């Protein structure tokens, strides 16, 4: 497998990348991260020279770069963690959240669709979301479940809910025929 992990230098992403690199030494792990406020390559220092690991600095919204990565590394799987996050940041600058979380996700989906060209056997696009898309829980109430309705309450959660819907729509439109 040739696995593209987006946002792999972040807190959660670095744990995913490290796990993939060490658990699957015969697979190639390509980490695409823009190294903004949340990304830090120090998180991956222990695996940076692993033969099955490659780091690419870049933005998921850059169609040319993402296409080059798919072509160069023959990407078979995408683990999509890259996102703008933190509610307070989204209140200050909502447009960057829309650009990264919605348009960046749409770009990844479009490149994968073109590259895989209808041959989705053995391919995977795994999108990571956030519980924020469900709104907020009242004091003492139960946890969110898979049937909890979407109820985003900030530009951050609305942009993540939008990306969730895009992933679902691409799946049903292009793979369920």
Q: pLDDT tens across 38-70, in order? A: 889 999 999 999 999 999 999 999 999 999 999
> What is the spatial distance between Cα 155 and Cα 95, in angstroms, rounded to a whole number?
8
- Which residues contact residue 163 at a Cβ distance below 8 angstroms, ignoring those fewer than 6 apart? 83, 101, 102, 105, 106, 127, 129
Contact 24, 49 (CB under 8 A): no
Residues in the chain: 177
Per-residue pLDDT of the chain (177 residues; tens, 9 = 90+): 999 999 999 999 999 999 999 999 999 999 999 999 888 999 999 999 999 999 999 999 999 999 999 999 999 999 999 988 877 778 888 898 999 999 999 999 999 999 998 788 999 999 998 888 888 777 667 788 778 888 888 888 899 999 999 999 999 998 865
User: How far apart are the two ends of the chain, measured CA to CA in Å?
Assistant: 25
Question: In the Cβ-directed half-sphere of 124, how many Cα atoms lie within 13 Å?
Answer: 12
Going from the N-terminus, what domains does the chain have, and what CATH number goes with each? 2-174 (3.40.50.720)
Query: What's the pLDDT score for residue 49?
Result: 95
């Amino acid at each position: 497998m040739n696995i593209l992990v987006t946002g792999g230098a972040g807190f959660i992403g670095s744990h995913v990348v490290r796990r993939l690199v060490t658990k699957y030494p015969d697979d190639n792990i390509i980490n695409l991260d823009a190294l903004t406020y949340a990304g830090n390559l120090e998180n991956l220092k222990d695996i940076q020279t692993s033969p099955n690991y490659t780091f690419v600095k870049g933005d998921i919204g850059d169609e040319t770069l993402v296409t080059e990565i798919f072509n160069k590394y023959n990407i078979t799987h995408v683990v999509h963690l890259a996102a703008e996050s933190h509610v307070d940041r989204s209140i200050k600058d909502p447009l960057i959240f829309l650009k990264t979380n919605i348009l960046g996700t749409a770009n990844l989906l479009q490149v994968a669709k073109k590259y895989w060209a209808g041959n989705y056997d053995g391919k995977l696009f795994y999108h990571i979301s956030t519980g924020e898309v469900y709104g907020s829980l009242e004091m003492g109430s139960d946890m969110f479940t898979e049937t909890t309705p979407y109820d985003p309450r900030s530009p951050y959660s609305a942009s993540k809910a939008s990306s969730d819907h895009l992933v679902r729509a691409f799946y049903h439109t292009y793979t369920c025929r």
